[in-house]
Chain A
Amino acid sequence: MLTKELVAASTVPLVLSVLTEGENYGYALIQRVRELSGGRIEWTEGMLYPVLHWMEKEELIESEWREAETGRKRKYYRLRKEGRKALQEEKQQWMSVHETLTKLWKQQPRLT
């Protein structure tokens, strides 16, 4: 399980990355992240929505209410140009953390 801080920091890049696969709605976004992380990333589900709305306000994503195949309405989110740019920046930052940690842990193999 991730710490609260890491969950908070990784939510935006995770959402942006899942949305590169195509538009999606909140519940399915959470399922996708759970599936990909093998259950290690567990969100308090309701907490995703304020983040989504903030991202919409920042024009990283856009949304639309549509009727799903079940007949009920769902709110679908889609990536915007600004979102793609933000994802590129996020990628660089996370990769630099990842690379640095990997190098350090290779030097001290007994740490794990």
Chain B
Amino acid sequence: MSTIQRRLTLVLAITGSLLGTVGGSALYMTVRKDLVAGFDSVLKTRAEGVAAFITEPKTKPAKSGKPEALEVPEHHLPSWFQLLSLTGESIERSPSLGKGDLPRPPSFNESVQFWDLTLPDGLPARAVGLRFVPQKSTNRAEAASGAQAPEEFVLLIARHRGGLDQALSQISSRFIMVGAFLFVANLAVVILVVRKQLRSLSSLAAGVATIEASSLQTRFPAHSLPGELRPICERLNDLLARLEASFNRERRFTADAAHELRTPIAELRSLAEVALKYPGDNLSTRQALQDALAVAGEMESVTTGLLALARCEAGLLQKDFEPVSLWPLCKGILAGVSAQVQAKEISLSIEDPKDSCWLSDVAALRVILTNLVTNALEYTPQKGVVRILSDSEGEIHRLCLSNTAIHLVPEDLPYVFERFWRKDACRSSKFHSGLGLPLAKALAESVGLQLRAELSGSDQFIVILSGGKLCTPTLSKGTDESKAGAVFGETELACSASKPAQDAEAGDGCTSQEPQESGLVTNPYLR
């Protein structure tokens, strides 16, 4: 498996080895060059020393310029040498050469030349070729004063280079040994360093690999990670948190849905089986049938709610945007729940100082407000307060619906719009299935509105419907709300702004109208 650690280790090891090899080679070449230069220097010194003793004969030879016209000292001569004229004629040679010549370069253009050669004894050697002018004898010097230019000769001296080669071989071996050691050391260091530096990444990867659906509460410590990994880790933690919340929501939904769906089925089945197994009198049969009918109604409510939610989320609801006057709409909805308001002695008020008119879908808005109002009335205790207030910020308008809610706590707020969520964990109320608020929220979002919940003080639950775009009320044709607007008309809109709804209905000539069937869910079971 290709991993960053392996690839990094490989690249660093190869790079280190290459650099070590190049560096070692350069160093070896430098050392070799110095040693050879030293060897050559010795050869040259020796050649110069010998050349200094070579002189012209005191008496003029028969033929001037002939090679045999030089006097070569017998002592201080090296083992391998040869004296040549510039034309290459041998004048003198060491006895070790016999009648042979020292291998020589093709020409002697330089005053000093070095080259490698193999001596007649078969051993490798290095030679120097020195161009020189022999010393003149005193007599000849005097005689030649003012004569022609002095003649140059070439002195070749060779020396075994076994010692040099051995030294170079030893140095080369040591370089190879040190290089091999450095290679291994480099590899080990690279492995250790890479492993250590990538430990945080490895541990992060190992931690991520162990995450399962049952361990979504895992979080990775970002503060101990390198800067490059920190943002990744933080985003990963955020992702895990969202995933955990999502899983928990799904679990809650599954559990709640199981209870909401399984319990009525169990009730229905049990009623039917017991009635069949132990048929009793008419009274018990009637009771069983009544219970079965009620169960069917509850299941219908849940099914209708789920279908409405599914349609809403799938964008299958047809939306028809038109001016909607909130005041008449709220009045119509409240008229339908006046009995509940009176029975619980709830103080109900509507405050709409601007006679707001929103550009929205009237059917969706009616279902949203119906669900919000019925939900508020259901959970408001006896003699509690329900208040509907509208205000605006520029073009954006909002509608706040508050009610007394003594059992809710801030920790409940994230769940109030979840499907099937109910504060009462044992879900004893058969009237509510926990789909009203989720449907209201889904519908609000489908028409471009936002729905959120807040808690104010110790007992005020506020649902805020925001994002409404204000518009001028017009009487559009062919919609339910246009009819409602016509009925309520200007008289309704002119009603006292902060007057309780009951009073408005009873005393100021305002009329109300039952919500019309709009094609959306208005099932009374849907709460």
| A, B co-complexed | no
